[in-house]
Chains A and B, each alone.
Chain A
Amino acid sequence: MFLPSFLRRKGPNNGLEEKSNQQDLLPPLVEFAYKLGQEKIGVKINTLGSKPSSQSSREALPQYIKHVYDLLAISLGPQVARELFESQLTLFKKTYGVNQKYFELLKELPIPVMGAERLAVLNRAELENELKLRIKELEEIKANLEKTVLERTKTITAERNKLSLILSGITDAVIALDLNRSVVTFNRGAERLIGISQQDALGKPISNLIKFFSKDREMFTQEYTPFRGDGFEGETLNLEGLKIKSFNGKEVFVNLRVGQIREGPFVNLGCILTLHDVTQEKKLEEMKLDFVSMAAHELRTPLTALKGYIYVFSKNLINVLNEQQKTYLLRMNIASQRLIALVENLLNVSRIERGSLTLHLEEVDWVGNVKATVSELLDEVREKNQELAIIEPTKPLPKVKVDKFRMNEVLSNLLSNAISYTPTGGKIKVWFDCSPDEVITYVEDNGQGIPKEALPHLFTKFFRVSGVLEQGSKGTGLGLYIAKSIVDLHKGKIRATSEGLGKGSTFSFSIPIKEQVVSQIKSIPDGKIYIGRI
């Protein structure tokens, strides 16, 4: 604590008592105020002013003290300023005793220190004056407080209105729940989606308004409105394509996001649900699939005629055609066969997307089946003057249980690729491998190969190897996607390896031998019966 220099020199018990009654305490307090001001704020603020000199008028001293006090009150807060001065006055009291001079000092000080003691030394008029001052001060504080409250209220109201405008402008449904999972916020999007007004929804348990379904199972309330108790803030749940049923039976599909804020438990806010309506998108997706399916089916009829007449034509005229004419006919046949494969692939994609691709398993002599499928593509192999070899396994393979039709689509997709991406005169090899668990079929070619960076994406829908292959590329980017989907359904694995561009590639897929639990993604959807002309 700061002590005026003369006190420091002599010390409190060094014959001060005798002198004390004559001591004017104002100058030491000015000294104190000046030092304090320098120490606490002088460096920062240049408004400390010059300390009154011994020649200054007596009125200047309390004025200066008030000036410093006010500066301190502004920069450190009134509480701190008062405490600093009061501790100094207490020190004076201890040093000099509570004498006349001390009370005179208090009376002269225009700053609110030593409140109780000051009152004691005032006469009636001075008391009244003091009281008026205090009342005025209080009124000022009150007015300030009211102003602050008013401003804060305005800010809060503005925030609230802003929030409600934002909420009403959002097309997604936003629903906030309290800790009992009853509705506390229900925006316009929610009114539209659920089909109930905000008024009717507020205060109701969420489970009375909406039911959530994961696939076809109704979800528990806790499942779609999780609360985390560890002070977590942010997203707690993110689910897509959920079916919801509102209390009036309306069914929609939504993407659900749930979040919570840290202060939730203190303001009775459990979680906030945002529901994005994807019903239309789903419908559009279905329309797309329906269209693809319908178009592909319609294409089948002219293709049947095309392929059939080529057959009849070549059968009847094969003996009278010259070699060139025979080549033309062969090419027509290949082209129509490719077109058919393409249409079947389109249909397969729409089946896969719909989840209606199902398997009809039967025991199959695998090598025999592969030979039959290969023979259907021999025209193309001959046309490109390629060499196609089937290497039979040394030991006979066990019988496998597959959907023959679908598995042959896998094979013909892999073989077509091998033929397409291997130049004229190239070699294609089909061979087998067998372990106690599975039969693996390999289709190897010495063609264009696959760049390393493309390998992980080969089985993705619509993926096509770009760059070098682009010009000669014929694919739709569907064949391998379909092949993988079918192999997956059989619980097998499909793989591709290539040493790089120009080094050929090998595709393989496995078929498990053990009793398979083959998944049927979904039973065939009802109510989709095409009868009559579409």
Chain B
Amino acid sequence: MNNGKKVLLIEDEFFISDLYKHILSDAGIRVEVAEDGEQALQKSKADNIGLILLDIMLPGLNGIEVLKKLKEDPLYRTIPVVLLTNLVQSSVVKLAYNLGASGYLLKVSLKPEDLVRCVQDYFKNPNLKMRYETLDLD
């Protein structure tokens, strides 16, 4: 059903990454976890990455820089990137959208079933864009 697609979860907080890994695995979705920007760029080279969930506050390269590098590379440009973070200024989201991000999720108010649905939606339609105007911004 997922055509072997995987989610790349870029998240440095182990409690969070393990939680999401668990939730997604329970729903039958395969998950790769990267703990920092460097690892993220390395692991996005893997085959079958259908969606990248990207935290913004990361050690080393921050999320915006990772996003920029991903979107600069023709190999990964087509992989949809959804920001998954707890700290989002409207200006940061705007910047991320300009750089090619497809959506944004606020971790603290995200229900597990919504996360699963979001991943499945992007697996089905990688060109999906969340409407920027209706996002819950800080």
| Residue of A with least CB distance to B95 | A529
Contact string, A303-346, partner B, CB cutoff 8 A, digits 1/0? 11101110110000000000000000000000000001001100
Which A residues are in CB contact (< 8 Å) with B134?
Answer: 360, 362, 404
Q: Judge if B130 is at the interface, Cβ distance under 8 Å.
A: no
Q: Is the CB of A308 within 8 A of B16?
A: yes
**In the complex, how many angstroms separate the beta carbon of A486 from the nearest chain B beta carbon?**
13
Q: Is the CB of B19 within 8 A of A532?
A: no
Which A residues are in CB contact (< 8 Å) with B64?
Answer: 531
Compute how far the CA of A468 lies from the CA of B91 in the bound complex, rounded to whole angstroms.
Answer: 46
Q: Which residues of A489-534 are within 8 A (CB) of B?
A: 524, 526, 528-534
Q: Judge if A301 is at the interface, Cβ distance under 8 Å.
A: yes
Which A residues are in CB contact (< 8 Å) with B20?
Answer: 308
**In the complex, how many angstroms separate the beta carbon of B108 from the nearest chain A beta carbon?**
4
Contact string, A366-392, partner B, CB cutoff 8 A, digits 1/0? 000000000000000000000000000
Q: Is the CB of A529 within 8 A of B107?
A: no
Q: Judge if B22 is at the interface, Cβ distance under 8 Å.
A: yes
Compute how far the CA of A146 lies from the CA of B37 in the bound complex, rounded to whole angstroms.
Answer: 90
> When A304-B107, A340-B108, A524-B89 are in contact, do A360 and B133 touch as well, CB less than 8 Å?
yes
Q: Judge if A207 is at the interface, Cβ distance under 8 Å.
A: no
Q: Is the CB of A533 within 8 A of B138?
A: no
Q: Tell me what chain A mostly uses at the interface: helix, strand, loop, or mixed.
A: helix
Q: Is the CB of B108 within 8 A of A304?
A: yes
Compute how far the CA of A534 lies from the CA of B87 in the bound complex, rounded to whole angstroms.
Answer: 11
Q: Judge if A6 is at the interface, Cβ distance under 8 Å.
A: no
Q: Judge if A297 is at the interface, Cβ distance under 8 Å.
A: yes
- Within 8 Å by CB of A530, from B58, B89, B108, B112, lies B89
Q: Is the CB of B16 within 8 A of A529?
A: no
Q: Judge if B23 is at the interface, Cβ distance under 8 Å.
A: yes
Q: Tell me what chain B mostly uses at the interface: helix, strand, loop, or mixed.
A: helix
> When A308-B16, A312-B22, A531-B57 are in contact, do A300 and B89 touch as well, CB less than 8 Å?
no
Q: Is the CB of A309 within 8 A of B62?
A: no
Compute how far the CA of A343 lies from the CA of B106 in the bound complex, rounded to whole angstroms.
Answer: 14
- Within 8 Å by CB of A297, from B87, B110, B133, lies B87
Q: Is the CB of A532 within 8 A of B62?
A: yes
- Within 8 Å by CB of B57, from A347, A360, A533, lies A533
Q: Is the CB of A300 within 8 A of B91?
A: no
**In the complex, how many angstroms separate the beta carbon of A348 from the nearest chain B beta carbon?**
10
Q: Which residues of B1-56 are within 8 A (CB) of A?
A: 13, 15-16, 19-20, 22-23, 56
| Residue of B with least CB distance to A293 | B138
> When A304-B16, A308-B16, A311-B112 are in contact, do A532 and B57 touch as well, CB less than 8 Å?
yes
Compute how far the CA of A526 lies from the CA of B94 in the bound complex, rounded to whole angstroms.
Answer: 12
Contact string, B119-138, partner A, CB cutoff 8 A, digits 1/0? 00000000000000111111
Which A residues are in CB contact (< 8 Å) with B63?
Answer: 531
- Within 8 Å by CB of A531, from B56, B109, B110, B133, lies B56
Which A residues are in CB contact (< 8 Å) with B110?
Answer: 304
**In the complex, how many angstroms separate the beta carbon of A239 from the nearest chain B beta carbon?**
31
**In the complex, how many angstroms separate the beta carbon of A374 from the nearest chain B beta carbon?**
16
Q: Is the CB of B108 within 8 A of A300?
A: yes
Q: Judge if A266 is at the interface, Cβ distance under 8 Å.
A: no
**In the complex, how many angstroms separate the beta carbon of A421 from the nearest chain B beta carbon?**
25
| Residue of A with least CB distance to B90 | A524
> When A304-B107, A305-B13, A305-B15 are in contact, do A529 and B89 touch as well, CB less than 8 Å?
yes
| Residue of B with least CB distance to A405 | B136
Compute how far the CA of A362 lies from the CA of B130 in the bound complex, rounded to whole angstroms.
Answer: 14
Q: Judge if A274 is at the interface, Cβ distance under 8 Å.
A: no
Q: Judge if A38 is at the interface, Cβ distance under 8 Å.
A: no
Q: Judge if A20 is at the interface, Cβ distance under 8 Å.
A: no
- Within 8 Å by CB of B91, from A305, A309, A312, A526, lies A526
**Nearest 4 pairs between A and B by C-beta?**
A300-B86, A305-B15, A405-B136, A308-B19
Q: 29 A-B contacts, Cβ less than 8 Å apart? A: A302-B15, A304-B16, A305-B13, A305-B16, A308-B20, A308-B23, A309-B19, A311-B112, A312-B19, A312-B22, A312-B112, A340-B108, A340-B109, A344-B108, A360-B133, A360-B134, A360-B135, A360-B137, A362-B133, A524-B91, A528-B89, A529-B89, A530-B87, A530-B92, A531-B62, A531-B64, A531-B92, A532-B58, A532-B62
Task: Taking A304-B108, A362-B134, A526-B91 as given, write out 7 further A-B residue pairs in contact, using a Cβ cutoff of 8 Å, ordered by the A residue number.
Answer: A297-B138, A308-B112, A312-B19, A347-B138, A360-B135, A524-B90, A529-B92
